[in-house]
Amino acid sequence: MRSVKKSKAGEIGVGFIGFGRVGSVLAVNCSRLGYRICGFYDTNRARRRHPEQVAGVKGVRIDRLVKESSILFLTVPDQAIKPVYRKIRRRLRPQTIVVHCAGSFGVEVFDAAREYGLETLALHPIQTLVGPKQGLAVLPGSYFALDGTKAGLKFGRKLVRQLRGRVILVPGKDRPLYHAMCVFASNFINGLLEAAEEIGKKLGFSRRQTIAMLLPLIKSTLNNIRERGALASLTGPVKRGDRKTVARHIQALKENIPELVPVYRTLTRRLKVILKQENKGSRR
């Protein structure tokens, strides 16, 4: 294998084991950047039957994929990365860069990689990918959290640069906390807005109507956070110290959607704590 440093993109064979949302989006982006795509292997028969969804990327036998790939992405579910890696590591050529895209761990999952002469990379896009079309639109320009060996990081930096993205280095020991940060900023927002949809439903609004009504508020909140930070841009009854309004909210939730009361109380307590900390800091 020629080194990533000296090889042109088209001379570097890139393969994918697992071809869901992340794998397919990365494959198309790599293809557009000029990398030679060796193909993909996926145990999901439905994905193997519909390769036309990702133009120019074909399903191949795993033996061929392992043999031809200089860069091998294991874009399988997080819990499957280590078992898949252990099954194929003896068949990988020395200097192959093995990559996973999970956020909660680093390259420590690739145990004994040095013994087999392998390079490793953990490349986690700080982005939400819900489908090929959406993923292709949002992945370029995103941040990526990297961990890896020297050669793995060199390739990761190069790929992110080609995607017009930005790199942050997050070692394996810090990945669980880092990934929790991402979950707060992404997945929990889904949970909060689903709760808002449930309240809207009680008020007689469709889910689409509820989101349409709240979207300007959501966008304005995010813009304010971008400009001023989350705490400085906080508004609402907790910020004002309006206990009576908070109590009315809790009572209304108890009567209509009681399962949301613990969520409301937990978030209210968190806001009170950080506001108290802010007030102490401002007095110093």
In the block, residue with structure tokens 């449930």: 198
Among residues 136, 135, 125, 137, the alpha carbon closest in space to that of 165 is found at 125
Q: Tell me: pLDDT of 280 over 80.
A: no
pLDDT computed for residue 9 by the predictor: 64
Task: Return d(Cα 224, Cα 167) in angstroms, integer.
Answer: 25
**Segment among 32-41, 48-57, 186-195 with least mean pLDDT:** 48-57
- Mean of the pLDDT values across residues 38-60? 70
Confidence of residue 2 (pLDDT cuts 50, 70, 90): very low
One of 3.40.50.720, 3.40.50.300, 3.50.50.60, 3.40.50.740 is the CATH number of 9-172, namely: 3.40.50.720
**CATH T-level assignment (fold) for domain 185-283:** N-(1-d-carboxylethyl)-l-norvaline Dehydrogenase; domain 2 (1.10.1040)
The structure's pTM equals 0.88
Same topology, domains 9-172 and 185-283? Answer is no
User: What is the pLDDT of the chain when averaged over all its residues?
Assistant: 91
Domain range list for the chain:
9-172, 185-283
Strongest mean pLDDT among 30-44, 126-140, 240-254: 240-254
Q: Tell me: pLDDT of 4 over 80.
A: no
Amino acid at 276: K
pLDDT tens for 208-259 read: 999 999 999 999 999 999 999 999 999 999 999 999 999 999 999 999 999 9
Amino acid at 69: S
* Cβ proximity of 95 and 150 under 8 Å: no
Pairing of strands 36-41, 13-17: parallel
Task: Return d(Cα 65, Cα 59) in angstroms, integer.
Answer: 9
207-212-217-221 Cα dihedral, nearest 10 degrees: 80
74-110 per-residue burial string, b: 16 or more CB within 10 A, e: under 16: bbbeeeebbebbeebbeebeeebbbbbbbbbbbbebb
Q: Tell me: pLDDT of 133 over 70.
A: yes
Bridge partners for 16 per DSSP: 40, 73
pLDDT computed for residue 48 by the predictor: 53
pLDDT computed for residue 10 by the predictor: 58
Task: Return d(Cα 252, Cα 171) in angstroms, integer.
Answer: 45
Chain-centroid distance, C-alpha 137: 15
